[in-house]
Amino acid sequence: MTLRKSLTVILILFVSIAKAQTTSDEILFTIDNEPVYTSEFIRVYNKNLDLVQDESQKDVDAYLNLFINYKLKLREAMALGLQDKASYKKEFENYKKQLAKNFVTDTKVTDALVEEAYERVANEVKASHILVRVAENASPEDTLVAYNNITKLRNRAISEGFEKVMKEVHNGQTIFGEKLGYFSGFKMVYPFENAAYKTNVGEISQPFRTRFGYHIVKIYDKRKSRGERTVAHIMVVDNPNDSITEKAKTRINEIYKKLNQGEDFESLARQFSEDKSTANKGGLLAPFSAGSLSSQEFEDTAFALKNVGDVSKPIKTQYGWHILKLYDIKPVQPFSDLKPEMEMKVKGDVRSQLIDDALVNKLKTQYKISNEQPDLGYFISILNDDYFKHSWKIPIDFKGDIPLVKIAKTQLTYQDFGDFLLKSQRNTKEKASFDQIVKKQYNTFLNNRLMQYQEDHLEEENKDYANIVSEYRDGLLLFDLMESTIWNASQTDTIAIQNYYNEHKDNYVWPERMHAVVASSSKESVLKQVAEFLEKGMDVEDIKKTININNEVNVIFTSGVMEAQDQALPSNFEIKMGISKIYKHNNSFVVVLVKEIYPPAFKSLDEAKGNVIGDYQTYKEKVWVGDLRNKYKISINQDALNHAKSLLKKQ
């Protein structure tokens, strides 16, 4: 769904904010006599002005051309009946439900929970806990036993010491005693988080329950969160195909020695880091916070660096060997920056139940539903023990047409609640009195119906929601059209792709390349010696043994097939057989031995397939849009277009 959503966002670039037009609005153009209005075009143009990458799209005439293409595609999708596809309807309904969650909520309660969450993300607690396991659906008797046990352990912990009791009682099965270290908001289940943040440093909490059982927690420390770190790194991975470079550990230690000899970190990263995405930036990584990396070793090392400019010793991770340099220390972002992320997380965990409860109360007031339950005696009287066996059935003489509760204009009857009881019996896990069961199920039934009613009528009650739904409706339709007409066809049309490749071979060419050995050193005099040794045909390993003496790394070699633009080479390097002159590169010096030159050559279809398919799709779409322009009659109102241009110039 993620890819589909992202592509759909691109496709709705031209979707208007509102569909309704005023009677005085000018018609900008028509497609088979179906009008498109000037106001819609102006809104769309302004809405997307900052999003377009191509400056030509900011030209009104060029943008109009793109807008007409969009409208043609939408017209074709409707003509093909894509709006009637079961898959389209299903995905659209799923999206509506997902979107509705952002509108069907109680904002006051949500805002309070978001602020609480931010405070907890901005502060960390250090804690240990003792847990007495008990099932979430345990009987009242077993629940009481677990509660009594945790209460006794708390009393012991107060008198004997928490750590002592924690170690003694931990068995890894029914009782757990664990050191948790530091954590912040959203790292623990919400009831546990609540207890931890509400307990003072040095104190032991009262017993509390989570879905795992009963806990007590001791708080050792509270501190501000460590925020973000920005680091650069030099990475070396094992490369079994490299016959010259030694093992990664040896190579990273050579680089580390060069750092200690005073060489520039960024220069070494550009020359030797095998993280291709960061090497040309001197190894610089994007900022990250605690817990956001997949490597704990890397993260711990980054946060252990205290001062900007500090460099770590070589460390090993699952990705290879690294040396880190600290660039920036950034505290937790302000609330205004983190609020959207916090809101998403709040709505995604058990806190959402608090929001739902507040929403239900709000809807009861909105739709004038009494907090007092109606007389449910009839339902209590028709239940029997079959309900606990999940085999209960509604009686034959059931009085289903009796009114039960009314939500706005929708009347719910005994039949509606009876059907709910019938379906919900399969979720009953423990025995209770029929009175308790019916009252609990009625609350769930009413809550569900209240939220469902609001969701079903949301387009009528909320204009913003209605507008977004309208945008997505058209965007999803266009996605299906493009997928069936262009994208899928381009993947499977092997003969057409082969023909396109044959006709455009000149676009898919390997540049001139070479097999080379690159020697790098901070000292020009060293490279003069290296060049002499290479000229004599000396083996690279022997050169290293001769040059890298007294525990100093004076030269590092890189070898392989490379282009003239390789990171190890200077920008003005010319590929020629033999040994090059000495170049200055990245605050260092390099000399290159070119062993073999590979002239420019056509890429095979397999080698260029990704680019070929992309280019073929662009070509196929251009032809297709041309066919649509011939299929549908387009008539542009030049006066309206001139008026639109004058309005846009005034903005």
pLDDT in tens, 155-204: 999 999 999 999 999 999 999 999 887 788 888 899 999 999 999 999 99
DSSP annotation of 392: -
- The answer to whether the beta carbons of residues 197 and 182 sit under 8 Å apart is no
Specify burial of residue 8 (Cβ count, 10 A radius: 0-12, 13-18, 19+).
buried
- pTM of the full structure: 0.48
Q: Is 442 left (phi over 0), alpha (psi -120 to 50) or beta?
A: alpha
Look at residue 562 and give its three-state secondary structure: strand
- The answer to whether the beta carbons of residues 374 and 405 sit under 8 Å apart is yes
Mean predicted confidence (pLDDT) in 11-24: 42
Q: In this model, does residue 6 exceed pLDDT 60?
A: no
From 432-436, 461-465, 474-478, the region with the lowest mean pLDDT: 461-465
- The answer to whether the beta carbons of residues 287 and 332 sit under 8 Å apart is no
Please report, as a single letter, which amino acid is at residue 98: Q
Q: In this model, does residue 8 exceed pLDDT 50?
A: no
Query: What pLDDT score does 57 carry?
Result: 54
Q: How far is 154 from 11, CA to CA, in rounded Å? A: 60
Specify burial of residue 562 (Cβ count, 10 A radius: 0-12, 13-18, 19+).
buried
Q: Are strands 34-37 and 513-521 parallel, antiparallel or unpaired?
A: unpaired
Quickly state the pLDDT bin for 327 (edges 50, 70, 90).
very high
Quickly state the pLDDT bin for 23 (edges 50, 70, 90).
very low
- Give the list of residues 6+ apart from residue 146 with CB closer than 8 angstroms, or none: 132, 133, 134, 138, 213, 214
Q: Are strands 634-636 and 27-31 parallel, antiparallel or unpaired?
A: antiparallel
- The answer to whether the beta carbons of residues 411 and 403 sit under 8 Å apart is yes
Among all chains, which residue has been given the structure tokens 């979430």?
136
- The answer to whether the beta carbons of residues 223 and 120 sit under 8 Å apart is no
Query: What pLDDT score does 417 carry?
Result: 95
Q: How far is 9 from 471, CA to CA, in rounded Å? A: 9
Quickly state the pLDDT bin for 471 (edges 50, 70, 90).
confident
Q: What are the pLDDT digits (tens) for 122-135?
A: 998 889 999 999 98
Query: What pLDDT score does 551 carry?
Result: 87
Tokens of 636: 């542009």
> What DSSP element (H or E) covers 541?
helix 540-547
Quickly state the pLDDT bin for 21 (edges 50, 70, 90).
very low
Q: What are the pLDDT digits (tens) for 274-319?
A: 999 999 999 999 988 765 677 778 988 999 999 999 999 999 998 8
Quickly state the pLDDT bin for 106 (edges 50, 70, 90).
low
Query: What pLDDT score does 347 carry?
Result: 82
Query: What pLDDT score does 219 carry?
Result: 96
Q: How far is 70 from 65, CA to CA, in rounded Å? A: 9
Could you list the beta-strand ranges (E) of 64-150. 123-133
Quickly state the pLDDT bin for 355 (edges 50, 70, 90).
confident
* Residues counted in the chain: 651
Q: What are the pLDDT digits (tens) for 138-167?
A: 888 889 999 999 999 999 999 999 999 999
Query: What pLDDT score does 114 carry?
Result: 92
Mean predicted confidence (pLDDT) in 425-441: 84
Q: In this model, does residue 620 exceed pLDDT 70?
A: yes
Q: What are the pLDDT digits (tens) for 272-281?
A: 999 999 999 9
The CA-atom distances, in angstroms, between 340 and each of 99, 226, 332, 334 are 15, 21, 15, 12
Q: What are the pLDDT digits (tens) for 373-401?
A: 999 999 999 999 999 889 999 999 999 99
Q: How far is 212 from 303, CA to CA, in rounded Å? A: 32
Query: What pLDDT score does 54 carry?
Result: 57
Mean predicted confidence (pLDDT) in 445-459: 88
Q: Where are the alpha helices (DSSP H) in 392-522?
A: 414-424, 434-456, 458-461, 463-482, 488-492, 494-503
Q: In this model, does residue 4 exceed pLDDT 70?
A: no
